Amino acid sequence: ITVLGIETSCDETSAAILVDGVDLRSNIIASQIDTHKKFGGVVPEVASRKHLENVNPVILEALDKAGATLADLDAVAVTYGPGLVGALLVGVAAAKALAYALDIPLIGVNHLEGHISANFLVRPELEFPLLCLVVSGGHTDLVYMPHRGSYQLLGRTRDDAAGEAFDKVARAMGLGYPGGPLIDKLSKEGDPNAIKLPRAFLEEGSLDFSFSGLKSAVLNYLNRAGQRKEEVNKADLAASFQRAVVEVLVEKTFIAAQGCGVKTIMLAGGVAANRSLRERLLLRAAEAGCRVVFPPLDLCTDNAAMIACAGYYKYLRSDFAGLTLNAVPGLALGQDQYEGPENQG
C-alpha cells in the first residue's frame, strides 16, 4: 500500500511517500523558518502564501525522489487539523484534488496523531496499551492509548506548550528562532543547577502542566540582571530552564505510566528532539523497569512521513474522509470531524 502524505499545518510544507507503513521512500520538507525568522515567529498569512507556492513542487519532488508516479498511489493522507486554518486549507485542497483525480481514498489525519505515529514508522511492532508524551510547539499532552487509533487525554498544558516556552525564553535571551534547538545546544555548556527556577507540579494528582510561571521567572531574571547591568551566563540560564521543563515532564509522565499500568512510553513532537529530555526519560525508565521510545530526530518536528504513517493505519481500518473534508483548526485528538461545514445542518 503506497500512501502519499501531505502536511501544511504550520510552517513546513511537506510531502512523503510511504509504502506499507514502514518503507519511507521520500520525505520532502520545505521549511519556512528563514521567512518567519525576521518576525520572531510564524505569520499566518505569510505561511499560507508560502504553502501555496510550495505544495505542488514538494509533492512532485516526493514522487520523483521515490521513483513513483501518481498511478502508484493507493491513498492520499493529509493533515486537516489542528493548525493554522489558511495553512491547513492548502494541503487539504491539494489532497482532495489528487484523491478525486486519481479516484483513490482521501484520509484526514490529526496532526498530533501524526506526531505520535512517527514512532510506529520505525517501530511497527509496538504493542498496546501505550502512553505518549506529546511535546510540541502548540501542545503538551499526556495521552493514553488502550489500542490503535484510541486516544484518552490524561493531562495537558494549562497555558504555554513546552515548545512555546522554549521559543519564548530563547527570544527573550536573544538566541533566535526556533528556540528549542538553540537552548538545547547552549545547555551543553551550562550548569543546570546554577539558577533556581520554579517547577509547577500543580495540585496533587493532576497530570496537567503549566510553563508560563517558569517563563516569567526567566524573563524576570533577565530584567533584573539588565537593571543591575550584570552579565547573564546564558549557558547556565538555558541549562537551568531546560532542566526545569524536563524535570516536570519526566515526573508527570512516569506518574501517568504507573497510574495506567503502561510499560512502554512513547515521546512525540518537536520537543522530543531535546537531548536532555531523552536522556532523563531513559534514566528514569531504567529505574522504573519501563521502556521509552523516541522517533528518529528528523521525524520529531513537522513532516509528512508521520502523516503518511498515521494515514496507512487509517487505510487499514477503511477510515476514509470523503471529498467534503475541511480544515478543522481546533481539531482534538481522537475526535475526527470529516464533514465540512457545507454539509452540516
Please state the residue numbers annotated as binding site for substrate: 134-138, 167, 180, 184, 274
274 binds, among Fe ion, Mg ion, ligand ATP, none (CB under 5 to 8 A by kind): ligand ATP
Q: Using an 8 Å Cβ cutoff, are 9 and 82 in contact?
A: yes
Smallest gap from residue 89 Cβ to ligand ATP (A): 16
Burial of 287 (0-12, 13-18, 19+ CB in 10 A): exposed
Extended beta strands in the chain, E state:
2-7, 12-19, 23-31, 75-81, 106-110, 130-135, 140-145, 152-156, 264-268, 291-293
Smallest gap from residue 83 Cβ to Fe ion (A): 8
Q: Which residue, 109 or 273, is less far from ligand ATP as judged by CB? A: 273
What character string, x for contact with ligand ATP (CB under 6 A) and - otherwise, covers 6-45? ---xx-----------------------------------
Question: Under the criterion CB under 6 A, does residue 190 sit at the interface with ligand ATP?
Answer: no
Taking the C-alpha atoms of residue 113 and residue 133, their distance in angstroms, rounded to an integer, is: 12
**Among 56-64, 119-127, 263-271, 308-316, the segment contacting ligand ATP (CB under 6 A):** 263-271
Question: Under the criterion CB under 5 A, does residue 136 sit at the interface with Fe ion?
Answer: yes
Question: Under the criterion CB under 5 A, does residue 242 sit at the interface with Fe ion?
Answer: no
Chain positions 267 to 286 lying near ligand ATP, rule: CB under 6 A, are 269-271, 273-274
Taking the C-alpha atoms of residue 13 and residue 84, their distance in angstroms, rounded to an integer, is: 13
Taking the C-alpha atoms of residue 271 and residue 278, their distance in angstroms, rounded to an integer, is: 10
Q: Count of residues binding ligand ATP (CB under 6 A)? A: 24
- Residue 302's closest CA among 58, 127, 95, 73? 58
51: its cell numbers: 504553502
What character string, x for contact with ligand ATP (CB under 6 A) and - otherwise, covers 74-93? ---------x----------
Binding site feature residues for Fe cation: 111, 115, 302
Contacting residues toward ligand ATP, per CB under 6 A:
9-10, 83, 111, 115, 136-139, 163, 166-167, 178-181, 184, 269-271, 273-274, 301-302
